[in-house]
A and B are shown apart, each in its own frame.
Chain A
């Protein structure tokens, strides 16, 4: 079963604009991870934020985590056409063999 919901399910923006995706989860976590998947390809790990962190940056990516609301957001600044992909948040269930529990994903389309 999926851990939570991602919002929006689909997002279409112009190149240069910022894209914000939100993720909610249900259980307590040690960390939350974001992955990107280009159509039909493998998932690429983007960034991991620990439960004791509130914000983390990596290049054009900014992730926030609010454990009190069980939510996270991923901001991609100055988006490019190459950012077009599906983005998933995931938590890890360590008492279920380290299983990644993914959100439903946000499909991002960046138009040139």
Chain B
């Protein structure tokens, strides 16, 4: 089944403890991105990647890192999480930047930083 897989689904952590949220897609998509969803603020892009080894900042990159060493994986790294990073996170992928491509989203990771 074509899908984007995120792990973990839920995570509670303490301030300052480094964590990684994994994202993997099995559709050979070139484009991958991370969003966070917050009440009243909607979905905001954190980082995106056009292809392997090509990443760039979205609207809210502060406090996050990403890497794209392989086409299928795009992990989101929080080096020193803070409570304001408590949010619902989504990874998404698409074949590329063509005008006919929709995006496939993962099921989400609900992160709580205490």
Contact = CB atoms under 8 A, between A and B. Distances in A.
Interface of A: 2, 30-31, 33, 35, 40-45, 48, 50-51, 88, 94, 97-100, 102, 104-105
A104 B42 contact: yes
30 contacts: A31-B99, A33-B103, A40-B88, A40-B108, A40-B110, A41-B108, A42-B90, A42-B105, A42-B107, A43-B43, A43-B92, A43-B103, A45-B102, A45-B104, A45-B105, A48-B102, A50-B99, A51-B99, A97-B48, A97-B50, A97-B56, A97-B58, A98-B33, A98-B50, A98-B97, A99-B45, A99-B48, A100-B33, A100-B45, A100-B92
A105 B43 CA distance: 10
A102 B110 contact: no
Contacts of B110: 40
A105 B88 CA distance: 16
Chain B contact residues (Cβ within 8 angstroms of A): what range? 20 to 34
Given A2-B42, A97-B50, A99-B59, 11 more contacts: A31-B99, A33-B102, A40-B110, A42-B106, A44-B105, A48-B100, A48-B101, A88-B43, A99-B45, A102-B42, A104-B42
A99 B90 contact: no
B94 A98 contact: yes
Interface string B47-58: 010100000101
3 interchain residue pairs of minimum CB distance: A45-B102, A30-B99, A42-B105
B31 interface: yes
Nearest to A34: B102
A6 B56 CA distance: 29
Given A31-B99, A40-B110, A43-B90, A99 B33 contact: yes
A100 to B, nearest CB: 6
Given A42-B106, A45-B104, A99 B99 contact: no
A39 B94 CA distance: 23
A41 B105 CA distance: 10
Contacts of B50: 97-98
Contacts of B94: 98
